A and B are shown apart, each in its own frame.
Chain A
Amino acid sequence: MSPQNALDLLILKTLQSGPNHGFGITLHIQRVSDGLLSVEEGSLYPALRRLERDRFLSAKWTTTDNNRRARVYSLTKKGRERLAEEQQGWVSLSAGVSKILGYA
């Protein structure tokens, strides 16, 4: 699983709790991971575009609470399925990796 897949997973997971815009996603990830993970904007937007292109996300322009225009992403049905798969994959991957790390 590449870093890209990891980022995809993080984005999808973030959006599971509700629609959000790009900046919101970076904040959420940073906050929830206690600052351990920080998402580079340079990777975020291409990833968002890719996920949108592949119909895992849908996006529309809305106005935020602070009266700012933002492009808000939400999970599609396909996106939810994808999230389930990736999550499962990640869990088995990390379990496997931990075992190997613990073995040595």
Chain B
Amino acid sequence: MGLALGRRLEDPGVRMIDFLRRWFQRDALDAELDSELRSHVQMREAQNRAEGMSEAEARAAARQSFGRVAAIKEQARMTYTSRFWETLHQDVRYALRGFRRNPAFTLTALLAITLGIGSTSAVFSVVDRILFRSLPYPNDHELVSVGLTTPIDANEFFFGPAYLSIKDSSAPFKSATSWTGATACDLTEANPVRLTCGQVEDNFLDVLGVRPFLGRGFTTEEDSATGPRAALISYGLWQSRFAGSGNAVGSALKLDGEQWTIVGVLPATFEVPTLTEIDVLVPQRMDRAAIQRNQSGRFMRVFARLNDRTSFSQARAALDPVLELALNDVPPQYRDEIGLIVRPLRDRQVGNAFWASWVLLAAVAAVLLIACLNVASLFLARASQRRDELAVRAALGAGKWRLTRQALTESLLLGVFGALGGWALAVALLKGFALIAPSGIPRLGDAELDGRVLGFTLVASIVSAVAFGLASCRRLPQASALSGARALGGSRLDRRYAMVAVQIAASMVLLSAAGLLVDHLRTLQQAPVGMDIERVATVELVLGRQFYSTLESRHSFFEAVEESLAKLPGVIALAVTDSVPPEDSAGGSHPLATLLAEGRRPIEEGTGGLVFNRWTTPGYFRALGIPILEGRGFREAERSGPASTLVLSQSLASTLFPGQSAVGKRVQFRYSEPPTWLEVIGVAGDVRNRGLSEAPGPEYYLLRNRKAQTSLSDRVSPARRRRAIVIIRSQLAPEALANMLRTEVAKLDSTLPIAIDTMEQRVGRLAARPRFNAMLLSLFALMGAVLTAIGLYGVTSFLVAQRRREIGLRMALGATTNNVVAMVLARALRWTVAGAALGLIGVYLSASALKALIDGSTSSDLWPASTAVAILATVAVVAAGVPALRASTASPTQALREE
């Protein structure tokens, strides 16, 4: 309508003051309104009298014409108080009174909201960091990890020449940089500290887009073998060693006995793309030629920035020539096992936490769904309970909007209380996660609750409450609702049962997922490791570069340790080794096909997978309780001679020499120069050496001889030689031994950091991740089942309450208790079965995600699902049975007399 109705131009400030004035004077204004209305009625009365009515008629007519005084007052009042606050105040008071009057409803709803909000917020806070939050690099979507994939490492890598070809070819990257890993380095100052030094290319920070907090990054000159020694220190080290002083830049840092200059300080938020914790970054000090020669001999992890509008698959396709080039250096038989991958940095970082994260997220979403349905169902139930009350209020003049608002206020109020509880629960859960979580879940440590997360769940629960609060108001009761003729809301009850069915389905999926993980965990923990690990302690040592620069110095140190520890009381057996099963990370491995068995056809190259090796002293088998099945183990006397013997694991022996005894046979490494035959002197029992979930892989043992200068020990990389693990089998409990071990090692080198563990701890740690997953999922499954039980119980109780008269009548007419229970149970169980059927579909659909979580190992698939069915059936019978029984025990006469 094109009418220019002048806008009221008002100063908001004035309005506000007016409003406040009216608000504070509202009692006085009320009184004034009262007297004004009274005066009006009197005038009308006088008028009526003047028109000839009697006194009484005049008064009645005046009042009648005036209509509903209360409604007028209410409306008029709204003009001088703000309608909003006034009503809110009333509604909140009313809602609180209602909550107090109906504690069962209130507590159940609060419990549901609290559990839903709390668990979802906590898990989302963890998962958010892993899956969604952007990485701390500008334009992080461009950053990729690129490299060759092989069976020997879980992550992609390059060696020098292939990397250079990437750098040189313009497409598909804007820039690329490399990281050759972190090693232990000693800060050799007044009080020495073991630090972690990461080695990077000069452009590392530039490619990541990170600017140093102080100072500058590396120059090309500093990255050459002859350049000045420059280092960047982490923010943490800057704070702890330099007290955050600006003078740190430019000062000297003595690492492994060499003088470095600090050129900059990294920002506090800095993280290496591999998520390795580092204290110092130093250049790799390799120029092109050095990289070309592959001088470091170490994996280069390569990170690059994609060109604009280049997809991962385009980038991958563009790198085909690089793969070709890399394959040139690979013996043909292995080429099939090698690929090239370009993937987002986040995928590289998250690794196998990816599936775990999604599964957890799905699990809490299921809990949230169950909780929301509970809230909704409660509100529906309450709405039908309150039909009388609402009808009375409607008859007294409360408008439709007013009643709706009342319902909304209640929902919101519950949401707010639930959010407070949920917040507390989430904080507790996060603390709990951090306590029990195994290492290696990226960024768990700094997960914290943030408002977004809480807001999301708060909104989710309120929306469900509001939606159903509104649905229940949609058909506002008419005055006829007061007449006492009560239609049983059959369809409404079915709607509530349908919600319970969905809850049962969600619970079912949760329970069977938890069951699957628990089952997997049990398999892991019961798997025989092939060792006797009771009362076995390990001491792990990594020697620094500065004081143990030569092979001899390292050897003599390890031997001194061996000697002094062997003298400790109660020691039964002791061994020095480079690695310990079942972890395989530090041990050596190479393709099985490189082992040639004398007198047998060589294994087809490129087949057979990997074979592990360990470099140990003779006591190894006794110390770990690994049985020698055939032949013998190593002897002390052999340690001074040249290494010419080896011990095979049972599975390797039967692979190399099927159907015959391996002892006395000879084995050779293909491509070894000059060819050397080694004699198999024994066969040891198989040991789990690829983690807990995989069957034992083939393995052989080499003797740690004193000279260690033979071609054989060339197979042991330099890094492996600086690390040693002493295994001690003792009569004493390992805990009692720990202090003695520490003292003995400190006598030899007081600055050397050591790690003491029991073998049981080492093995247990491998199950930590599955245990964490299983525990969380079980927790959520439990929450889900409890909430579902509450839901089913609630609906059935409601059904029973509504049908009291009918039940009473039936019993009066001769129905037995059993009949009544059966009748009530039948309806509840029909929906339970429907829910379970729906759940089975969910279980089937979720199976593949869960498989990824448990390393694809299959347990008896039926076990978890059938357990879930059994648990839910029990829960359903109890939750529906209790109200059913109660109904049947109610006295029929009493039920009939009521109402």
Contacts and interface: CB of A to CB of B under 8 A. Distances in A.
Interface string B16-30: 001000100000000
B80 interface: yes
Listed residue (A22, A45, A71) with the most chain B CB atoms within 10 angstroms of its CB: A45
A54 B8 contact: yes
Interface in A30-69: 40-42, 45-46, 48-50, 53-54, 66, 68-69
A29 interface: no
B65 interface: yes
Interface in B19-55: 22, 32-33, 35-37, 39-40, 42-44, 46-47
Given A1-B1, A53-B80, A70-B43, A46 B67 contact: no
A6 interface: no
A45 B37 CA distance: 8
B79 A22 contact: no
B6 A69 contact: no
Interface of B is mostly: helix
Contact of B5 (A5, A42, A71): A5
Nearest to B19: A53
Contact of A92 (B3, B33, B76, B79): B3
Interface in B829-883: none
Interface in B762-776: none
A69 B72 contact: no
B39 A70 contact: yes
A42 B71 contact: yes
A41 B42 contact: no
Contacts of A23: 39-40, 43-44, 47
Given A46-B78, A89-B3, A22 B36 contact: yes
A8 B72 CA distance: 17
Contacts of A45: 33, 36-37, 40, 72, 75-76
A42 B39 contact: no
B39 to A, nearest CB: 5
Chief secondary structure at chain A's binding surface: helix
A46 B5 contact: no
B66 interface: yes
B65 A41 contact: yes
B52 to A, nearest CB: 17
Contact of A93 (B3, B36, B67, B79): B3
A13 interface: no
A44 B18 CA distance: 22
A28 interface: no
A82 interface: yes
A35 B849 CA distance: 78
A54 to B, nearest CB: 6
Given A23-B44, A53-B79, A68 B5 contact: no
21 contacts: A1-B1, A1-B3, A5-B5, A21-B39, A23-B43, A27-B47, A40-B67, A41-B65, A42-B71, A42-B72, A45-B37, A45-B40, A45-B76, A49-B80, A50-B79, A53-B80, A54-B8, A68-B39, A70-B39, A92-B3, A93-B1
Interface of A: 1, 5, 21-23, 27, 40-42, 45-46, 48-50, 53-54, 66, 68-71, 81-82, 85-86, 89, 92-93
Given A41-B67, A49-B80, A53-B22, 7 more contacts: A1-B1, A23-B44, A46-B72, A53-B79, A70-B36, A70-B43, A89-B5
